[in-house]
């Protein structure tokens, strides 16, 4: 079981390596039926919950199974020095965003990059140029067609099929869709075994209506997205390990059977690696089943459905592909594949929140994954405009970064799908998710808040259309 103390020890090193104003986001996974108080004892800490103001006490009740707050390094130290404490029975806590030393300075706003006000695409000096380049290269074909012509799926993960962007935009530009949350265990079953498939089913109908490939995200995720009473159920069991294994098996069985033939690929396990630390993330699955929970989940999935594609999905920390995070994940994937674990593909999330990847490092990394004999999907791409806050033309700089990504993805044959985490800037999760909510509008996607193409759209399209 992950304890607050264990997590704090894990982050202590990173905190000490930075000099103040270091922002991290924590996620507490609470027990249901309890009240939790997060108390700042000496009032020195800068704590925020969600998009709220700084507070000294946070109270979360039973429904808030996931309590998220962000604070500066000082509050982490306050934890460790006992100046801040949690009252209530917290089962698990994990650090949600990266706290890699040196990368995330902040002065109270979001990490590293100041807020950029809303930027209208047409006002970007590069907009017309990219538009002309793209129209010429694509001969007027929409993104989905350009992608399909080179054997790629290009998708958007959206919150529900009833979003305005789901109407015309997604079917016009994408040939794949995903659900931001609808297929997560904790969304399908708020409490263990109490399934409500309505939103996920709506995605299936939507995908069929528009002939979109549907991705399943995700069966097993240690960090978040679980039924609120999973930990309590396990703890109350006479044999917690056997009970967790059984619940995991039943869940995989239920979901794969229900969506057999309708979901093309599943993220069987999401984010297995620890942030910043060594080895695997410590969570309810790894605590009870050991690191083998990953292999077990894949074996369970394969035994239920022999056809569907099974994917291991991960975010490489800060997109530092030639750094320890990328290395550890590669080693882990290589080991599992070498042992015959039925992994068909590797998902690289591709969130670009702290930094954009170096294209050469990204390409080399994807080639190394390709050498493992699996397909690759980019599963959750977005790129905060704040990364380009100091540029004269942030939208143009974002477009260039997307262009480089498109060129890399198009040049690695094993890459067969690219999905954006949202269709248009109006939908992005980052505007509601600390600490990035403080930087809203984050404008990380290809279409603007009016669902109109941005320079990034034309640049990405151009990159796909022109890469040999």
Residues that bind ligand XIL (CB under 6 A): 180-181, 270, 349, 380, 429
Nearer to ligand XIL, 176 or 349 (CB): 349
How near is the Cβ of 420 to ligand XIL at its closest, in Å? 12
How near is the Cβ of 123 to ligand XIL at its closest, in Å? 28
> What tokens were used for 52?
């709220």
How near is the Cβ of 78 to ligand XIL at its closest, in Å? 26
Rounded Cα distance between 258 and 253, Å, is 8
How near is the Cβ of 147 to ligand XIL at its closest, in Å? 22
Nearer to ligand XIL, 221 or 365 (CB): 221
How near is the Cβ of 69 to ligand XIL at its closest, in Å? 14
Comparing every residue's Cβ against ligand XIL, the nearest one is: 429
The closest alpha carbon to 439, from 392, 382, 401, 397, belongs to: 382
Q: How many helices (H) and strands (E) does the chain have?
A: 16, 17
Which residues, in sequence order, are bridge partners of residue 400?
none
Nearer to ligand XIL, 84 or 169 (CB): 169
Nearer to ligand XIL, 275 or 460 (CB): 275
Nearer to ligand XIL, 98 or 349 (CB): 349
How near is the Cβ of 447 to ligand XIL at its closest, in Å? 17
Q: Going by DSSP bridges, is the β-strand pair 57-60/36-40 parallel, antiparallel, or unpaired?
A: antiparallel
Rounded Cα distance between 360 and 80, Å, is 40
Q: Which residues contact 353 (CB under 8 A, 6 or more apart)?
A: 97, 382, 384, 430, 436
CB of 262 within 8 A of CB of 304? no
Nearer to ligand XIL, 134 or 269 (CB): 269
CA distances (Å), 145 to each of 305, 389, 391, 403, in order? Answer: 30, 32, 32, 17
Q: Which residues contact 299 (CB under 8 A, 6 or more apart)?
A: 341, 342
Length of the chain: 468
How near is the Cβ of 181 to ligand XIL at its closest, in Å? 5
CB of 454 within 8 A of CB of 448? yes
Per the listing, tokens 């000294």 go with 56
Nearer to ligand XIL, 74 or 271 (CB): 271
């Amino acid at each position: 079981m992950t304890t607050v103390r264990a997590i704090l020890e894990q982050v202590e090193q990173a905190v000490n390596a930075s000099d103040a104003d270091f922002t991290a986001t924590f996620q507490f996974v609470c027990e249901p039926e309890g009240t939790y108080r997060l108390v700042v004892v000496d009032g020195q800490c800068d704590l925020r919950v969600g998009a709220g103001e700084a507070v000294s006490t946070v109270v979360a009740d039973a429904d808030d199974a996931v309590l998220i707050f962000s604070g500066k390094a000082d509050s982490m130290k306050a934890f460790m020095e006992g100046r801040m404490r949690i009252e209530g029975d917290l089962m698990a806590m994990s650090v949600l965003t990266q706290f890699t030393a040196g990368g995330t300075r902040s002065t109270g706003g979001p990490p590293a990059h100041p807020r950029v006000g809303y930027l209208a695409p047409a006002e970007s000096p590069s907009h017309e140029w990219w538009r002309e380049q793209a129209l010429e290269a694509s001969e007027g074909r929409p993104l989905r067609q350009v992608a399909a012509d080179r054997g790629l799926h290009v998708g958007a993960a959206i919150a529900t099929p009833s979003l305005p962007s789901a109407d015309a935009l997604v079917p016009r530009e994408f040939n794949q869709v995903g659900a931001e949350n609808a297929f997560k265990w904790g969304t399908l079953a708020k409490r263990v075994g109490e399934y409500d498939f309505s939103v996920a089913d709506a995605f299936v109908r939507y995908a069929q209506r528009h002939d979109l490939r549907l991705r399943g995200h995700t069966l097993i995720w240690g960090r978040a997205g679980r039924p609120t009473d999973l930990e309590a159920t396990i703890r109350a069991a006479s044999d917690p390990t056997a009970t967790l294994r059984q619940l995991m098996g039943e869940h995989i069985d239920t979901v794969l059977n229900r969506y057999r033939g309708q979901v093309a690929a599943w993220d069987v396990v999401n984010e297995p690696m620890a942030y910043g630390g060594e080895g695997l993330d410590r969570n309810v699955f790894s605590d009870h089943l050991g690191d083998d929970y990953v292999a077990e989940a894949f074996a369970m999935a394969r035994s239920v459905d022999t056809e569907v594609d099974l994917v291991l999905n991960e975010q490489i920390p800060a997109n530092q592909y030639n750094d320890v995070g990328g290395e550890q994940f590669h080693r882990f994937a290589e080991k599992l594949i070498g042992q015959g674990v039925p992994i068909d593909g590797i998902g690289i999330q591709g969130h670009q929140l702290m930094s954009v990847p170096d294209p050469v490092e990204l390409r080399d990394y994807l080639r190394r994954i390709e050498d493992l004999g699996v397909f690759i999907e980019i599963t959750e791409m977005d790129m905060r405009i704040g990364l380009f806050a100091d540029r004269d033309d942030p939208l143009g700089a974002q477009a260039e970064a997307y262009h480089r990504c498109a060129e890399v993805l198009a040049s690695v044959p094993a890459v067969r799908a690219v999905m954006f985490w949202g269709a248009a800037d109006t939908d992005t999760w980052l505007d509601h998710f600390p600490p990035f909510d403080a930087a809203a509008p984050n404008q990380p996607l290809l279409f603007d808040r009016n669902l109109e193409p941005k320079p990034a759209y034309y640049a990405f399209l151009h990159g796909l259309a022109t890469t040999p």
